[in-house]
Structure 1
Amino acid sequence: MEDWLLITVSIILSTTLIYLLSLLTKKKPKLPPGPPSFPIIGNLFWLRMSLFDLEPMLRRLRSKYGPILTIRVGSRPSIFISDRDLAHKVLVNHGAAFADRPPALESSRILSSNQHNINTAPYGPLWRLLRRNLTSEVLHPSRVRSYGGARKWVLGVLVEDLKDQARARGDGVCVAVESFRYAMFCLLALMCFGEGLGEGVIRDIEKAQRELLLFIRKLNVFAFMPRLTKLFYKKRWEKFMEMRQRQEEVLLPRIRARKEQKMVMKMPRSDANGVFTYVDSLLEITLPEEGGRGLNEGEMVSLCSEFLNAGTDTTSTALQWIMANVVKYQRVQEKILEEVRSVVGGEAEEVNEEDLHRMPYVKAVVLEGLRRHPPGHFVLPHAVSEEVCIEGHVIPKNATVNFTVAEMGWDEKVWEEPMEFKPERFLSGGEVAGAVDITGSREIKMMPFGVGRRICPGLGLALLHLEYFVANLVREFEWKAVEDEEIDLSEKVEFTVVMKNPLKAKIVQRAH
């Protein structure tokens, strides 16, 4: 009896020890691989760089560590994903867990009024409210159609600006980028504040916005020990605060004027001309999570600034890249012109929104431009709200996740000769191929607007504006390369990834 008891106890103890040993030796999921880093030295080094500076390095690291890797940037691990299938699993299959934003740095909190704008707001009620307001009140298709008159007016401003440049030089040559940017800004300003701003006011707003936008990259140093770095870089911080104050000085009078106009007209949903603006929608917002209060003036400045920036630089950058390829590849221009003339004829004053629905080649040119030259090579960083295991790697709670947009659009497994500009790749039987889902809901082949819950809400508006201006610019002018000068598609980074040498072209007005 004692022998059996001893055997039984031995078996139980052995089984328990084996089980405990297996728990100790069992491999737990680890962070995605990455280069070694030092907690302080490494962090200080990365703070001197932007995500765009990291891009060439990430390409080298991918060959060593694979399509998902970890780099220590700041106090949190930063995960970089360059594989489209992994990106789909993260942004679509686990969308809710990856829909948050990292805590804002002090400079970002000032610009966003403590994360009270769409881009920086944490995933939750405030973000849903602000995004829903934008998509339903301003970006709804019926509302977008109501801005048709503004689009036509801005097109006229752009055409005259290009003509003036060509005449002033005497050789028909223009440098288009500033004209493109100003035209896009005018259009967004009209949608934001309404008509009657005047060129001087628009120029003042544009200057304040542009200067602050380009200065943001210099604020990285304040991410590490801000109290100390604000002493070391005192003048830089003071300049930043002056720029923010200037931004408020030029935007607040427009917001207040719109508010007074609505009060005089007893709070109508549009002005005397029937125009409903983004500011009008902001004046109607109440925040249930904050006692039902309305937006304060600082928050409205931040939201208006976000609206102007999001629709100006990205769209004007994309337009410049597309038109550069139109000049470089004359066959593309000829096909656009042929399609435009077949739809609107030679007498129409413009190609309007309804006409664009019958222009698949123009749409294909725009999509190819966004694939080959996405204005942003990264989306805004995502934050993880709960630990998730992806492909055997753990993505810890509060980690920051970034996605290499450009790399996904250049994937040789998806796109034949990905670095070539071939709009025909988007066509099937003369129509835009339905298999290319730019939203990435089914699969990701390109993601210039992001994917998932944080996808850019202005996707439809951006596509409309690009198609509208590409079609009308080719209808109005013949675009040629300057004699003895090739179109240079080299890149440089500003707020977006722009042409290193801005597009310079000779334009000749077409006979209608």
Structure 2
Amino acid sequence: MELLDLLILAFSVVFLVAWWWRCYSVVGGGARKLPPGPRGWPLVGNLFQVILQRRHFIFVVRDLRAKYGPIFTMQMGQRTLVIITSPKLIHEALVQRGAAFASRPPDSPIRLVFSVGKCAVNSAEYGPLWRTLRRNFVTELISPVRMKQCSWIRELSLENHMKRLQTEAQQNGFVDVMDVCRFTVCSILVYICFGAKIGEEWIKEIDSVTKDVMLITTPQLPDFLPILTPLFRKQVKRAKELRKTQMECLVPLIRNRRAFVDRGENPTGEMVSPVGAAYVDSLFGLEAPGRGRLGEQELVTVCSELFVAGIDTTTSVLQWVFLELVLNQDIQEKLYQEIVDSVGKDGVINEEHVEKMTYLNAIVKESLRMHSPAHFTLSHAAIEETELGGYKIPTDVNVEFYIEWMTEDPSLWKDPGVFRPERFLDGDGVGVDMTGTKGVVKMLPFGAGRRTCPGLALGLLHVNLMLARMVQAFKWVPLPSSPPDPTETFAFTVVMKNPLKAVIVRR
């Protein structure tokens, strides 16, 4: 270890000792009256206790919930986590008192490299910048006018998607559902964001960089012990190199689009959407509070957020849906019959059709219930000290909402481990609102309240359209050499440990 590293480590230990004596008492009560929780070790709290268990954090949370109840505290290094698992408390915090818990905690140094100081819809602190970015996102991406305006993009991309499915099946004898769907979703989002039709290799590069960004920004040791960040110079250097790659990948698209918007230049013909129809067009003239006009760094951050949030979530949902359809052929046939009754065997399925397909929507909801894209919402923070469940919630703690538990609760769902779409037609899922704003909260796959996923409607539209088209054209059956495996693993979203491979048969 270099001398500089030793000096940093020594200073860090002294600082952590002082910090620990000041606030170690917060776990299990203390002066700040935080919720109870497990007593931790000096300096690092519960951090190494979790690491040494060698299992995913959600399993630790489940054990602690059984011991400490629906709200408890964990001291993870320098970060204090208040974890909330009760549907009632989640609804109170996110919906009834949404503004009180609408901010975000500080980001790690690595995340700040990509967010350019939290200049993004998901990471911005609650305030004028967040309001401006979110309002623009909603207006320019998911308003009814914009959704309809982009119908041709989805139609063109889905035509290519069906051809790609056939080609892969002919070449390999099966289809890798996640792989094919990722490419199509990324293509749609490039069209929508930049108004550009680009080559296959460029699309794959955007997808690859997006995956790398998601992986490098997942929680790591410096997130919980920021004072030790100087000891992780290699990771920070890798993040900066990846940021450079991300800039090199997306800046040409931004510059080409700006030249098209400002001067009508389109020498390669890649700009296919009219001026004002691409998401990035709205960002060129946007005045961001505290920032002014967005530069290329900020434009890359805001545009890439669309890919980070849209690709993995949409394709993960699709993969889990097809797992259930492959395992439950009777459900797949019932869905196919609904599609035929709606548009015929060869009719073109559009947005209006999928909105009216009740069984299709029930299948997607049931898949989201059983296979939520994430077990936690993104971290929240209180905008000022407040109270929840009889405990104090300071502004300097991470408020974590564990949303998966409610979907497995037998007091909320009958036979929660059984995939049964009919529950959303005439059972315990009737009237359930996935945004948590109506009735009893029973599932929140995309969060709730002011920080709910703003792209929810767009993502579900892509899921429904792709699912309906794929089932209309093909029967999906298991690949004998690689049977469907529902084992989960945890990346940016909850995905299959062994990606689904299926055989398709032309109907």
* SS state at 2:217 partner: helix
Is 1:193 aligned to residue 194 of structure 2? yes
Name the CA distance, whole Å, in 2 between partners of 1:46 and 1:113.
33
**Partner deviation per Cα, 1:171-209 (whole Å, 9 max, x = no partner):** x32222111111111111111111322222212222222
Whole-angstrom CA distance in 2 between matches of 1:74 and 1:28: 19
Q: Work out the CA distance in 2 between the residues paired with 1:46 and 1:143.
A: 49
TM-score (norm: length of structure 2): 0.88
Q: Is the 8 A contact 2:197 2:272 kept in 1?
A: no
Residues 89-139 of structure 1: per-residue CA shift (max 9 Å, x gap) = 111222111001001221111110101101110101100000000001111
Pairwise CA distance, 1:460 = 0.9
Quote the Cα distance in structure 2 between the aligned partners of 1:365 and 1:240.
Answer: 39
Q: Per-residue displacement from partner, 1:137-189 (whole Å, max 9, x unpaired)?
A: 111112111211111222222222222221112xx322221111111111111
Give the match for residue 376 of structure 2.
Answer: 378
Alpha-carbon spacing, 1:355–1:82, altered in 2? closer, same or farther (3 Å): same
Letter in 1 for 2:493: T
Aligned AA (1:92): V
Task: Indicate the residue corresponding to 2:7 in structure 1.
Answer: none
Q: TM-score, normalised by structure 1?
A: 0.87
Output the CA distance in 2 between the equivalents of 1:282 and 1:455.
22
Aligned residues of 1:381 and 1:400 also touching (Cα < 8 A): yes
Equivalent of 2:433 in 418, 431, 437: 437
Q: Secondary structure at the match of 1:357?
A: helix
Tell whether the 8 Å contact from 2:423 to 2:430 is kept in structure 1 after alignment.
no
Which runs of structure 2 are paired with 1:23-422 in the superposition (5 Å)? Answer: 30-42=33-45, 45=48, 53-169=56-172, 172-217=173-218, 220-223=220-223, 226=226, 228-231=228-231, 233-265=232-264, 273=274, 276-290=277-291, 293-348=292-347, 350-422=348-420
Q: Deviations over 1:1-55 (max 9, x none)?
A: xxxxxxxxxxxxxxxxxxxxxxxxxx99821111001341326527969999210
Distance across 1 between alignment mates of 2:490 and 2:179 = 16
Question: How many angstroms does 1:478 deviate by?
Answer: 0.5
Deviation at 1:309, TM superposition (A): 1.1
Compare 307-316 and 86-95 and name the one that shifted more: 86-95
Any conservation in 2 of the 1:439–1:447 contact (CA below 8 Å)? yes
Tell me the distance in 2 between the aligned counterparts of 1:131 and 1:347: 39
In structure 2, distance between residues paired with 1:50 and 1:469: 40
1:76 and 1:226 map into 2 onto residues whose CA distance is: 9
Shift of 1:436: 0.9
Structure 1 distance, partners of 2:255, 2:51, is 39
Q: Structure 2: where are the runs of 5+ without partners?
A: 1-29, 266-270
Larger Rg: 1
Deviation at 1:264, TM superposition (A): 0.7
Per the alignment, residue 10 of structure 2 pairs with none
Distance 1:502 1:275, change over 3 A: farther
Separation in 2, partners of 1:284, 1:322: 40
Is the partner of 1:96 in helix, strand or coil? helix
- Which blocks of at least 5 consecutive residues in structure 1 are unaligned? 1-26
1:223 deviation in Å?
A: 2.7
Partner of 2:25: none
Would the aligned equivalents of 2:185 and 2:311 in 1 still touch at CA under 8 Å? yes
- Distance apart, 1:225 and its partner CA: 5.5
- The CA distance in 2 between the partners of 1:239 and 1:180, in whole Å, is 29
Show CA shifts across 1:384-435 (max 9, x none): 1222222222222322111112112222111111111111011139xx9762
* Alignment match, 1:11: none
User: Are 1:101 and 1:381, in contact at CA under 8 Å, matched by a contact in 2?
Assistant: yes
In structure 1, distance between residues paired with 2:237 and 2:345: 56
Q: Which residue pairs with 2:503 in the alignment?
A: 506
Question: What is the aligned-residue RMSD (CA, Å)?
Answer: 2.4
* Length, aligned pairs only: 472
Report Cα offsets for 1:329-381 as digits up to 9, x if no partner.
01110111000000101231x31111112200000001111111011111100
Q: What is the alpha-carbon distance in structure 2 between the residues aligned to residue 244 and residue 279 of structure 1?
A: 19
Contact 1:385 1:398 in 2 (8 A): no
